[in-house]
């Protein structure tokens, strides 16, 4: 069963990952990158390989070795589980130790609960995997747009590095202006991408040795395994930390291997390269810069590069004990989870004797998938009140009827049951709308009115919106877009806890008593990301800085831009005036049409903009 296998992998993988991350943090650099790399790979092994299946086979091996006559004399316990169709297990009522828990300690869930868990897991896995696939496709386009690095001294230095490492494979070396640090990609056909800038042979040797060592040790396969573990265990924060640790340890391991092959002067040059990359811009950064983003990571990489002598004595013993701890904890967790952790709950006799009630409840639940269908259904009923074949009740009422059917031990006879309410019954729709009104998150009405907002009636279905399964009450802001009113969620107005702590909460200092500041013309100006917190959009929207001065564009001028132009008539980019906070022109700002590719800013234009002190972010 999928859910049971995932649960057992989560137990063994979490135990190994937790011990690995904890010991690495406690060691504080006293472990070599070689041993840290082995610990990380052990953690990935326990997260991906279902060892509990192997233990189950070992446990059943003595029974399979018995002769047929001996196998027939083996007694079967009275409380042994019996197999039901579909591969699930059913325990007799006398063998149950508690409600919803089997005798072996497994959690018993109804069949629909297993389907829900499987669907949630699949959605989460796709949520993690799809951005990685898009990034992979972008990297493939980057490789195709690059050019081969055939000029001297690349071929000579590449041959020298391959000889030092003993690497037989011949990777392709290419250059691209879109990368600022070297990287390697391609599991079956490795390609090394270098920045498109002149490098002396000594620097080139250090960079190529580092990337060739990734290929030599199969780091790309390890990162693929880390991605698989992150996709499978996307809900577990330990594997998010482990995924970053895999990249960091891989870079540190390459530093150690490369430093052994370099002399003292080349090793000093290698350290200077690390410092230069750590001090440079992280824009378009590769794995080198991403693993130098903190002072601790930089110090750890430099230390491991400089101390390349073999670890002996206590430090070697410490490394052995750490690896043994990861191995033993992962193995123990896998052994403890050899029994099923989640099983399908047995069907109750009441569910078998009243198929009519269950069938009707499932039919009602299948008619509406979301509460959004309820609002559409309500509008149709208002327009056609006399329609005799309207939709049946929505999923809230059907969920209640299904829960009531499952909790009652026996259903009354069909003749004694009350007939279901006819579709299109206004009392049914008003009851469901009332439930939405009671559960929807609201805001401070006085605060909203003080900032020019207009409250909507509670009984207006169009004033509710659902995000991530939560219903919110909306209001109309004082802004309009192309003559149409704009709506926002009440709950977000003045709620600082709902802002992103890294990108939005630091902007609160730009507000004046929770609102956008105004200039001498009475125009509000500020960052558009705070509009939901303020309750309206500013007249002048923060665009980009020119030097130390913040520039703004007029929201009215942006709304007046033409839209929907065909590609042959569209200029692709529109030029808007860039103002300061007092609506004085300080430059221009390019706005894309949003429907066609314009090519963007050329390299020469970008250099000129940087020379003028403009912020291109």
Which of 400, 519, 496 has the alpha carbon at shortest distance from 447? 496
Asked if residues 442 and 491 have their Cβ atoms less than 8 Å apart, the reply is yes
Residues 598, 574 within the same domain:
yes
Q: How far apart are CA 610 and CA 608, in angstroms?
A: 5
What pLDDT was estimated at residue 613?
Answer: 63
Question: Which residues have C-beta within 8 Å of that of residue 544, sequence separation ≥ 6?
Answer: 551, 578, 589, 614, 615, 616, 617
Asked, for residue 412, whether it belongs to a domain, the answer is no
Residues 237, 333 within the same domain:
yes
Does residue 375 carry a pLDDT above 60? no
Residues 543, 523 within the same domain:
no
Residues 510, 547 within the same domain:
no
Asked, for residue 459, whether it belongs to a domain, the answer is yes
Residues 334, 451 within the same domain:
no
In tens, the pLDDT along 167-178 reads 888 899 999 888
What pLDDT was estimated at residue 203?
Answer: 87
Q: How far apart are CA 52 and CA 56, in angstroms?
A: 6
Mean of pLDDT values over 217-222: 91
Mean of pLDDT values over 58-70: 46
Does residue 474 carry a pLDDT above 80? yes
Which of 472, 469, 489 has the alpha carbon at shortest distance from 531? 489
DSSP H helices, 337-450, are 349-353, 355-367, 372-383, 395-407, 426-439, 445-450
Which of 416, 358, 419, 421 has the alpha carbon at shortest distance from 394? 421
Residues 89, 43 within the same domain:
yes
In tens, the pLDDT along 105-144 reads 567 777 787 888 889 989 999 999 999 999 889 989 999 9
In tens, the pLDDT along 163-216 reads 988 888 889 999 988 887 888 998 889 999 888 888 888 888 888 999 999 999
Q: How far apart are CA 537 and CA 552, in angstroms?
A: 13
Last residue of a domain, one of 505, 537, 569: 537
What pLDDT was estimated at residue 392?
Answer: 42
Asked if residues 540 and 525 have their Cβ atoms less than 8 Å apart, the reply is yes
Question: Which residues have C-beta within 8 Å of that of residue 208, sequence separation ≥ 6?
Answer: 157, 158, 161, 173, 182, 192
Provide the 3-class DSSP secondary structure of residue 465: strand
Provide, rounded to the nearest whole percent, the portion of the chain with pLDDT above 70.
Answer: 67
Asked, for residue 237, whether it belongs to a domain, the answer is yes
Residues 507, 560 within the same domain:
no
State the pLDDT confidence band at 334, using cuts at 50, 70 and 90: confident
Higher-pLDDT residue of 554, 315: 554
Asked, for residue 163, whether it belongs to a domain, the answer is no
Asked, for residue 482, whether it belongs to a domain, the answer is yes
State the pLDDT confidence band at 438, using cuts at 50, 70 and 90: confident
Q: Which two tokens stand for residue 364?
A: 């009602």
Mean of pLDDT values over 393-422: 39
State the pLDDT confidence band at 150, using cuts at 50, 70 and 90: confident
Residues 451, 557 within the same domain:
no
Asked if residues 491 and 473 have their Cβ atoms less than 8 Å apart, the reply is yes
Q: Structurally, how many domains does the chain consist of? A: 3
Contacts 24+ apart (CB under 8 A), 371-375: 371/395, 371/396, 371/432, 371/436, 371/466, 371/471, 372/466, 374/429, 374/432, 374/433, 374/436, 375/461, 375/462, 375/464
Higher-pLDDT residue of 73, 113: 113
Residue corresponding to tokens 């026996």: 410
Residue 186 region by backbone torsions, left for phi larger than 0, else alpha for psi between -120 and 50, else beta: left
Does residue 92 carry a pLDDT above 60? no
Q: How far apart are CA 284 and CA 574, in angstroms?
A: 26
Residues 231, 123 within the same domain:
yes
Residues 461, 576 within the same domain:
no
Q: Is the bond preceding 290 in cis, omega lying within 30 degrees of 0? A: no
Residues linked to residue 107 through DSSP beta bridges, in sequence order: 101, 342
What pLDDT was estimated at residue 96?
Answer: 35
Residues 527, 548 within the same domain:
no
Q: How far apart are CA 201 and CA 266, in angstroms?
A: 11
Distances (CA, A) of 162 to 23, 149, 150, 261, 360: 34, 16, 16, 12, 70
Asked if residues 494 and 508 have their Cβ atoms less than 8 Å apart, the reply is no
In tens, the pLDDT along 558-610 reads 888 887 777 777 777 788 899 999 999 998 888 877 655 545 555 566 666 66
Asked, for residue 362, whether it belongs to a domain, the answer is no
DSSP H helices, 337-394, are 349-353, 355-367, 372-383
Residue 455 domain boundaries = 429-537
What pLDDT was estimated at residue 58?
Answer: 57
Asked, for residue 253, whether it belongs to a domain, the answer is yes
Instruction: Report residue 320 CA to chain centroid gap.
Output: 34
Asked if residues 470 and 504 have their Cβ atoms less than 8 Å apart, the reply is no
Taking the CA atoms of residue 140, residue 146, residue 148 and residue 151 in that order, the dihedral angle to the nearest 10 degrees is -150
Mean of pLDDT values over 358-370: 37
Last residue of a domain, one of 333, 350, 367: 350
Does residue 552 carry a pLDDT above 90? yes
Average pLDDT, the chain: 74
Does residue 425 carry a pLDDT above 60? no
Higher-pLDDT residue of 605, 483: 483
Asked if residues 358 and 351 have their Cβ atoms less than 8 Å apart, the reply is yes
What pLDDT was estimated at residue 197?
Answer: 82
Asked, for residue 152, whether it belongs to a domain, the answer is no
What pLDDT was estimated at residue 610?
Answer: 64
Q: Which two tokens stand for residue 517?
A: 């500041």
Residues 233, 115 within the same domain:
yes
Last residue of a domain, one of 320, 350, 380: 350
């Amino acid at each position: 069963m999928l859910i049971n296998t995932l649960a057992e992998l989560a137990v063994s993988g979490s135990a190994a990952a937790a011990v690995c991350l904890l010991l690495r943090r406690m060691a504080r650099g006293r472990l070599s990158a070689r041993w840290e790399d082995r610990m990380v790979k052990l953690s990935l092994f326990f997260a991906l390989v279902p060892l509990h299946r192997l233990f189950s086979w070992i446990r059943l091996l003595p029974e399979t070795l018995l002769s047929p006559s001996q196998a027939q004399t083996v007694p079967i316990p009275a409380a042994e589980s019996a197999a039901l169709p579909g591969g699930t297990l059913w325990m007799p009522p006398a063998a149950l130790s508690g409600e919803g828990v089997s005798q072996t300690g497994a959690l018993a869930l109804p069949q629909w609960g297993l389907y829900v868990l499987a669907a949630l897991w699949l959605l989460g896995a796709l949520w993690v995997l799809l951005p990685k696939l898009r990034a992979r496709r972008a990297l493939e386009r980057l490789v195709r747009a690059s050019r081969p690095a055939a000029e001297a001294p690349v071929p000579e230095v590449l041959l020298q590095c391959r000889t030092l490492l003993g690497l037989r494979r011949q990777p392709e070396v290419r250059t691209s202006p879109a990368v600022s640090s070297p990287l390697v990609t391609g599991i079956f056909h490795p390609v090394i991408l270098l920045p498109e800038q002149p490098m002396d042979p000594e620097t080139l040797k250090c960079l190529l040795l580092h990337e060739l060592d990734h290929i030599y040790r199969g780091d790309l396969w390890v990162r693929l395994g880390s991605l698989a573990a992150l996709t499978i265990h996307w809900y577990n924060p330990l594997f998010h930390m482990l995924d970053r640790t895999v990249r960091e340890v891989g870079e540190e391991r390459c530093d150690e291997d490369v430093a052994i092959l370099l002399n003292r002067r080349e090793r000093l040059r290698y350290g200077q390269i690390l410092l230069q990359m750590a001090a440079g811009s992280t824009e378009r950064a590769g794995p080198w810069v991403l693993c130098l983003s903190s002072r601790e990571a930089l110090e750890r990489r430099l230390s491991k590069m400089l101390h390349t002598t073999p670890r002996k004595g206590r430090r070697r013993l410490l490394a052995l004990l750490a690896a043994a701890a990861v191995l033993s904890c992962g193995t123990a967790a896998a052994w403890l989870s050899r029994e099923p952790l989640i099983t399908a709950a047995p069907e109750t006799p009441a569910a078998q004797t009243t198929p009519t009630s269950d069938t009707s409840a499932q039919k009602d639940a299948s008619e509406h998938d979301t509460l959004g269908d309820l609002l559409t259904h309500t509008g149709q009923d208002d327009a056609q009140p006399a329609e005799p074949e309207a939709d049946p009740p929505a999923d809230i009422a059907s969920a209640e009827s299904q829960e009531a059917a499952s909790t009652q031990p026996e259903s009354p006879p069909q003749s004694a049951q009350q007939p279901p309410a006819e579709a299109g019954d206004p009392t049914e729709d008003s009851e469901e709308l009332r439930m939405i009104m009671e559960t929807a998150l609201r805001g401070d009405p006085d605060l909203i009115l003080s900032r020019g907002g207009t409250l909507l009636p509670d009984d207006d279905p169009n004033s509710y919106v659902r995000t991530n399964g939560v219903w919110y009450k909306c209001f109309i802001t004082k802004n309009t877009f192309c003559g149409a009113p704009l709506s926002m969620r009440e709950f977000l107005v003045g709620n600082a806890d709902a802002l992103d702590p890294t990108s939005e909460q630091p902007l609160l200092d730009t507000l004046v008593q929770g609102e956008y500041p105004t200039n001498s013309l009475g125009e509000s100006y500020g960052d558009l990301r705070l509009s939901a917190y303020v309750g309206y959009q500013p007249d002048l929207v923060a665009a980009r800085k020119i030097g130390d001065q913040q520039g703004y564009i007029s929201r009215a001028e942006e709304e007046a831009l033409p839209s929907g132009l065909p590609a042959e008539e569209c200029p692709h980019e529109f030029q808007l005036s860039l103002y300061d906070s007092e609506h004085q022109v300080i430059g221009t700002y390019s706005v894309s049409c949003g429907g066609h590719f314009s090519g963007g800013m050329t390299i020469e234009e970008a250099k000129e903009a940087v020379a003028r002190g403009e912020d291109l972010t």
